[in-house]
Amino acid sequence: MKLKKLLVGIFSGTFVLGGTILLAQQVTPPTEVEIITEGAKMAGVKFSHEKHTKDYKVDCKVCHHKEEDPTKGALKCSACHGLMGGTEKAPDAPKNMLAYHKNCIDCHQKVNAEQGKAAPTKCNECHKK
């Protein structure tokens, strides 16, 4: 009888603990990525998730705007924003260069104006060879 209770207790505890871990699990983005667009004229851009999310407190949805919960996984921008425009997944999406520039440069200009910072806004400040 004691063995049965012990086994039921162990099973129940394992089940509850496993469920809690699964519910609490979030996807940790890479600290830094290089955004490279195949066929683009300019070099790729190194992007720090850590700086933008932790230091600058940028919400994940600013970039991953189509994801219901980007902390549980997010698509690459190129899934919707192709070199020449939309993709099969999102035919009306603007081409990736325009999407990046609109999102990144507009934000950098706003931060620079409001906070007197020097976030990059010129081509060679992000696209380093």
Check: CB of residue 83 under 8 Å from CB of residue 96.
Answer: yes
pTM over 0.75: no
Is 97 within the bounds of a domain? yes
Is 117 within the bounds of a domain? yes
Is 59 within the bounds of a domain? yes
Residues recorded for the chain? 129
Domain of residue 34, CATH code? 3.90.10.10
pLDDT tens-digit map of 37-68: 878 888 999 999 889 988 889 998 888 888 88
Is 6 within the bounds of a domain? no
Is 21 within the bounds of a domain? no
Range of the domain at 41: 30-126
Is 17 within the bounds of a domain? no
Q: How many domains does the chain have?
A: 1
DSSP per residue over 30-77, as a string? PSEEEE--TT-SSPPEEEEHHIIIIIS---HHHHSTT-S-GGG----G
pLDDT tens-digit map of 25-41: 566 777 888 888 878 88
Is 23 within the bounds of a domain? no
